[in-house]
Amino acid sequence: MSQYQIAVIVGSLRKESFNRQLAHALVKLAPAQVQFKEVAIGELPLYNQDADGHEVAVVKQFRDAIRSADAVLFVTPEYNRSMPGVLKNALDQGSRPYGHSVWDGKPAAVIGMSVGAIGTALAQQHLRNVLAYLNMPTLGQPEMFLQAKEGFFNADGSVGEQSRAFLQKFVELFAGWVAQHKR
């Protein structure tokens, strides 16, 4: 069985964000053939086309990390009914210069958590639109619009009993999606 390296991009910069906690909890549910690795986006400068061809080291490192991954898991909050600016900036940094996108053809999945009843539905829809343009085959089901509630996470950061099977299924379906779409 093949081993898959999956880059995890968390769209929140807050150290204790629900989405960062969710990303860490999902790592604990990974099947044996999957290795998750978070790729930081907080230090990326704002994308500026004038930098194409002479990017700073942090942009090069980011692109190399995505390029070397077999797939990408996006874990995003919702800000003002859309994806966070820091996440959009990371997508822009990885897609440029034109014709050299590190995203092209990489399988992806999207998940997010919010205190609101609809979770991160609108942010995920906007993100999925961008991922479609970037030619990233994205897992369609199950959609994962999670609401942060008491008991969702255990004291050790793992997923609580009521949500564990649901999230385990998501991680396993994503692993199968990666196997099916890996180039």
User: How, if at all, do strands 71-75 and 4-10 pair?
Assistant: parallel
What is the pLDDT at residue 140? Answer: 94
Residue 95's H or E segment, with its range, is: helix 85-95
Chain position carrying tokens 């990390």? 65
Token duo for residue 134: 């970037």
Residue spans of beta strands (DSSP E) within 76-177: 108-114, 145-147
- Output the CA angle 35-86-3, nearest 5 degrees: 10
List CB contacts of 44: < 8 A, sequence separation 6 or more: 58, 59, 62, 86, 89, 90, 93
* Cα(83)–Cα(130) distance, integer angstroms: 10
Q: Mind listing the pLDDT tens digit for each residue in 118-148?
A: 889 999 999 999 999 999 999 999 898 988 8
What is the pLDDT at residue 161? Answer: 86
Residue 117 pLDDT level (bands cut at 50, 70, 90) = confident
* For residues 58-86, average pLDDT: 97
Residue 21 pLDDT level (bands cut at 50, 70, 90) = very high
What is the pLDDT at residue 176? Answer: 94
Using alpha carbons only, how large is the chain's radius of gyration in Å? 16
Predicted confidence (pLDDT) at residue 79 exceeds the cutoff of 80 = yes
